[in-house]
Amino acid sequence: MKEYAIYQLENKEYDGFLLCLTYESILNYLKSIENEVMISESTGILLVDQLLITGNGRNRFIVCPFDHGTINIDAAESVSPKECYRKLSIQLLRQNYACLENSILTDQQRSKIQEEVVF
């Protein structure tokens, strides 16, 4: 299983979406992400959900620019995205529920994921 799920987005707000599926820092698998076709063959803005790393706080979502195989982590900024991105995260986490077993999420948050309730 990969440490993340990555998707190309078809909107004008962000070009890609990355959901971290482990509690480890994104820096531990950054090279793998940079080798993904979407990142290596284009430029844009990547929305990253770090729920399993940081919890549901203000640093949960960050945006980073990427350019043909390089993600500029130094330019990362915290954001508060629209609810549709939180919903996407919940759907992806529900599909990858096994990764929540040893996560920092509370039982209540895990229940919300099972029930597809956005938080």
Residue 105 scores a pLDDT above 90:
yes
Question: CB atoms < 10 A from the CB of 110, how many?
Answer: 15
pLDDT digits (tens, 9 = 90+) for 10-48: 888 999 999 999 999 999 999 999 999 999 999 999 999
How much is the pLDDT for 64?
Answer: 98
Sign of the CA dihedral 63, 108, 116, 52? positive
CA–CA gap between residue 20 and residue 12 (Å, rounded): 22
* pLDDT tens sequence across 38-66: 999 999 999 999 999 999 999 999 999 99
